Chains A and B, each alone.
Chain A
Amino acid sequence: MDRKEADKERRRIKSTEPMRDLMLKYYTEAKAAEGTEKLIAWITSGAPVEPLICFDVIPVYPENHGAMCGAAKMNVELCEVAEAQGFSRDLCSYARGDIGSALTKGGPIGGLPRPDFLVCCNNICNTVFKWYEELSRFFGVPLFIYDTPFVRGELPQHIADYSLRQLEEYIGFLEMTTGKHYDEARFLDVAAKSFYSTELWREILECNEHKPAPMTCFDAFILMAPIVTLRGTQEVVDFYQGLLEEMKSRVEQGIGILPSEKHRLLWDNIPIWYEMRNLGRIFMELETCLVADTYTSAWTYEEVDMEKPMASMANKYAEVYLNINLERMADKQAALAERFQVDGMVLHSNRSCKPYSLGQYDLAREFTRRTGLPTLIIEADHTDSRWFNRAETENRIRDFVETLLA
């Protein structure tokens, strides 16, 4: 092995393999469960998954699958299937791709296993319940909607009350659909594991405060798959403990993810899944590390009250990043900039995600006003590459990085 190869191997994140194994095992088991007595629920990425784990229901994430189809550059053909059925090209490409995949069993893993029921939480957008209504009609299965009203400023009591009532109702819904009784001890165990893994995840992300950063947020986009899908299980705790150890040891040894780190940037919005590899290459060439983002940190919770796990959980789910007002989002962006010592922010204006993208123009200005740092907005779509202009984006990124002070 020559020196360059050896250095590349040294910088490679080793936990990627156990994560692949974990996700492969998860998808294999989920697919094998189709048609058996094991229950499968499709669930949105921001919804409380802990109750499903507690009732031994297999959670399946169309959004995670959408990201996978996007990264495999297979989502456009699935979107086209949905479009041929009359679904507008202006609808979220996760939703279109998922509908296309449900119809054709297309995509890199031959589609998702058929759901027994659906769980949808609108804390990430209001697109999801329209999408899940369609799934409910298509599969003829029940849909549980966990409704999280938009929060401006502090979480008001009536939203907290409504959320808690629904979390309790959700438990009742699961008792009915699974025919099992709610086991409080089990729930506490699952909740504790969930909170603990989100805590681990937060510590992992915070390792990037170090210069050079041990990973980029593009790595985090991949490594977050278990926290999104299976938090609340022991396997996920084990995996993130391993990942945290690796990150800490990288920090101690000064191993950065890039061969050279000159600039540090913050990323806003969902990844451009089909373009990750290419963007990763460009930023590496530009010696620029995307050290933090507003997306992966959505699965970190602070100040969890284990005395009242149910209420605490309800509150956390109500106040996720996409369900709060622009001022609170601006606070968070400025705090990330400060904590991770960035030189600017790249915002992906994502055609498929209105709650994430509308307001970004104002947020970008506010970011500069508060931090004095520059921003770059790139127009794209998280999985529909037809809306993406690669050459133009690449030029704009290069121009932007050039303006950053060395």
Chain B
Amino acid sequence: MNDAVVARRRTILHVDMDMFFVAVELRRNPDLVGKPVVVGGDGARGVVAAASYEARRFGVFSAMPSVRAKRLCPHAVFLPGDHDLYSRVSDEVFEVFRTITPLVEGLSLDEAFLDVTGALRLFGDGVATGHEVRRRVKQLTNLSCSVGVASNKFLAKLASVEAKPRATRNGVEPGHEVFEVKPNHELEFLHPLPVESLWGVGPVTLEKLSALSIKTVGDLATFNARVLVNVLGDALGRHLHELAHGRDDREVEPDREAKSIGHEETFSEDIKDLDTAHDQVVRLADAVAARCRNSGVGARTISLKVKFADFKLITRSVSVESPVSTAQAMVHLIEPLLARIDFTAGVRLLGVSARSLSEPELQMSLFDDATGEGAANDLDAAWSTTTRAIDDIREKFGDSAIKPVSSLGKKRQPGSSKWGPSDI
């Protein structure tokens, strides 16, 4: 095979940082290396955000209630998590990715797709490029990562799972570091995998597939596509059928802008009345709006997320024609949603998020519309000058220098107890 052919074959890397949050903590506190470390909320209702491989040996994993993690691994070091730091380190890591290729699409703080098709000439093949990524990340950030290599995004993501170190009862087994799903051998790799490895197979779909005796991706691939579409619906049926044959032609979209900006908080005590909830929503909206403005965007959709004491989760949204970027306008839009929530059973989590982000509306309207969404945009306009002043104050004196009245006296910043409040 000549160079030209190698250079043309689409090659995607999925790079996944190894226990990222924990690794960042270990980097600033090397004494913790080799110890079981858990990052997350350590209060009664906290959840685990990340666990070191040493903690994973005891069965601790992400999203597990912290209480359970403490029972499984009582001697683990529990850290509250420092989202700002992780976010800064993530920026460093992504900068390293961009030294390999500009085609970097972040999935979260600690994983990204890299389309290295055009970079193969420099580094050799996909596997060599993967090792180069690992080498540079290690050298420049002192963090390690695992790399999946394949001809498309979906297979690359599955491949990186194979590349990861594994925690076993006997210790941590190093992984492949770089794992490639070889071209023309995709189905050999894919078909033995359980069907829930596919993107888009959640618990509900899994149940439907089980009813059809579909357990592995191979089962799915040989299943009649028409019946599949009947059972799962057109979009999902086709999507899974394509994936099961290893087909995924989605491009790596570099610099994908944030699709939403949100803050949520799990409370140490359930909220049982509208007034308290309203205060919290004002606080969360204030933080969301500030982040929108920092990113130079406004939102046309504002969502309210509510998790009840019984863990039932609902999301309600409202959309407006022109983007809003002040807390006042966001709160105005959320209020009617909030008023319809029944707080009697208790609410453990509230979240506010901004979606449909675009540049904020600067064009003013001739008509004063005192009702509905027009009012939100009018509020946005009315508060824009004050809000700019607030942003200036925060820039100079820090985020807690100026706050909504309803959150005065509260120490916590929105986002600081993302994984559940501390008991302290």
- Physical interaction between A and B: no
